[in-house]
Structure 1
Amino acid sequence: MRELIKEAIADLKKNDGFIYVTSEGKRVDLHEAAARGIAVTPVNPKDDVIKKLENAGLHLTDGRFLNDLNELIALITGQSSAKTSKRRTFSDQEKSKILEEWKKVEATGKKTKAAFAREIGIGYQTFINWLRG
């Protein structure tokens, strides 16, 4: 099973985009196929990986299966499967400093509001609400 997972990871990492196969199912380079006049079909490598994993009993596109698997891993490793992150609250002083920093960044025109909010670790809508505030 471990080898299958490693192979799946390697397949996904080495393929940027689609792979091309002939009518016989043989992988072929698109440029080579075009030069030789071979008809090809584009195939998403993820579909191939999903099919291999499902044949081995790993149904990673099934949300319930993933929840069960994550719960099992959490129980085995002793880690909680529930998200335990607490919401962060900011004081008025912290909000003011962040808004002052945004004014400086906004003047340069190099970042969007969304990128800035992400960078400082707050939600975009929260940041917008602060700006309206």
Structure 2
Amino acid sequence: MRDLIKDAIVDLKKGDGFIYVTADGSKIDLHDAAKQGISVTPVNPKAQVIKKLEEAGLPLNDTRFLNELNELISLVTGNSAGPKVTKRRTFSDAEKSKIVEEWKKVEAAGKKTKAAFAREIGVGYQTFINWLRG
């Protein structure tokens, strides 16, 4: 289990965002594959990690399980400081204007919904809508 978790961390920290696998499912560096003339498939490491951990009995998509696991870890380690409290971020009028301008470009391209864009920039959907109206 420890090796599985270590491998998952390494895969998720990769800089290019993908891991590359050969036809037999082995991981390989993209440059090494190119040198050897081996065909590879890019794989989203997050999806791969979640799949492997679920196969090992750790359902990371199950929020209830994650909450219970976090509670267990905090009780075992004695680190029961409670839930993290994050400070609300405030945006200047100039930042809001820039974000709204960026949204107009994204909207013109038709690439994202307002909700997805708001999540991406770390703002609540209703807050973002209020900025658009303002």
Larger radius of gyration: 1
**TM-score of the aligned structures, taking structure 1 as reference length:** 0.50
**TM-score of the aligned structures, taking structure 2 as reference length:** 0.49
